[in-house]
Amino acid sequence: MSFTFRHLLGTEALTRDEITFLLNQSRAFQGIQKQPLKKLATLRGKSAVLAFFETSTRTRISFGTAAARLGADTMNLQAESSSTQKGESLMDTVRTLEAMKPDVIVIRHAASGAPHFVAERLGIPVINAGDGVHEHPTQGLLDALTISDRLGRMDGLDVTIVGDILHSRVARSDIHVLSKFGCRITLCGPAMWLPPEIVQIAPNVRLEPRLDPALRGAQVVMVLRVQTERLQEPALPADEYIRLYQMTPERLALARPDALLMHPGPMIRGLEIDPAVADSPQSCVLEQVTNGVAVRMALLYLLTGGAPSGAAAG
Partner 1 sequence: MLLIHNGRVLDPSRNFDGPADVLIEGERIARVGPKIEAPGAERLDASGLVVAPGFIDLHCHLREPGNDPAETIESGTRAAARGGFTAVCCMPNTQPVNDNASVTRFILDRAAAVASVRVWPIGAASKGSAGEGLAEIAGMKDAGIVAVTDDGKPIATAKLLRQVMEYTRPLDLPVIEHSEDASLFAGGVMREGPTSVRLGLRGIPAATEAICVARDVQICALTGARLHVAHMSAKDSLDLVREAKRRGLTVTCEVTPHHFTLTGEDVVYDARYKMNPPLASRADREALLAGLADGSVDAIATDHAPHTQASKEVEFDRAPFGITGFETALGLALEALVHSGRLPLARLVELFTSGPARVLGKTRRIAEGEPADLTLFSTEHRWTFRAAESASKSRNTPFDGRSFRGGPMATIVAGRVVWRR
Partner 2 sequence: MPAREKTQLLNAAQTGRTIERLGHEIVEKTGEKHGIALIGIRRRGVPLAQRLAQTIRAATGAEAPIGILDITLYRDDLSLVAAHPVVQSTDIPFSVDGRDLILVDDVLFTGRTIRAAMNGLFDLGRPRRILLCVLVDRGHRELPIEATYVGRRVDTRPEDMVEVHLREIDGEDGVLLERAP
CB of 43 to partner 2, least distance (A): 8
Sole binder of partner 2 in the list 16, 33, 40, 230 (CB under 8 A): 40
Select the binding partner of residue 99 from partner 1, partner 2, none (C-beta < 5 to 8 A, by kind).
none
Q: Which is nearer to partner 1, 91 or 311 (CB)?
A: 91
Say whether residue 112 binds partner 2 (CB under 8 A).
Answer: no
CB of 266 to partner 2, least distance (A): 30
Say whether residue 75 binds partner 2 (CB under 8 A).
Answer: no
Say whether residue 67 binds partner 2 (CB under 8 A).
Answer: no
Following DSSP, what letter does each residue of the chain receive, concatenated?
----EEEE--STT--HHHHHHHHHHHHHHHHHHHSS-----TTTT-EEEEEESS--HHHHHHHHHHHHHTT-EEEEEETTTSGGGGT--HHHHHHHHHHH--SEEEEEESSTTHHHHHHHH-SS-EEEEEETTTB-HHHHHHHHHHHHHHHS--TT-EEEEES--TT-HHHHHHHHHHHTTT-EEEEES-GGGS-GGGGGSSSSEEE--SHHHHHTT-SEEEEPPP-TTT--SPPPPHHHHHHHH-B-HHHHTTS-TT-EEE--S---BTTTB-HHHHTSTTB-HHHHHHHHHHHHHHHHHHHTSS----EEE-
Say whether residue 29 binds partner 2 (CB under 8 A).
Answer: yes
Say whether residue 47 binds partner 2 (CB under 8 A).
Answer: no
Q: Which span sits near partner 2 by CB under 8 A: 20-28, 79-87, 247-255, 273-281?
A: 20-28
Q: Which is nearer to partner 2, 21 or 117 (CB)?
A: 21
Q: Which is nearer to partner 2, 186 or 291 (CB)?
A: 291
**Residues in contact with partner 2 by the rule CB under 8 A:** 2-4, 21, 25, 27-29, 31-32, 35-37, 39-42, 45-46, 70, 298, 301-302, 304-308
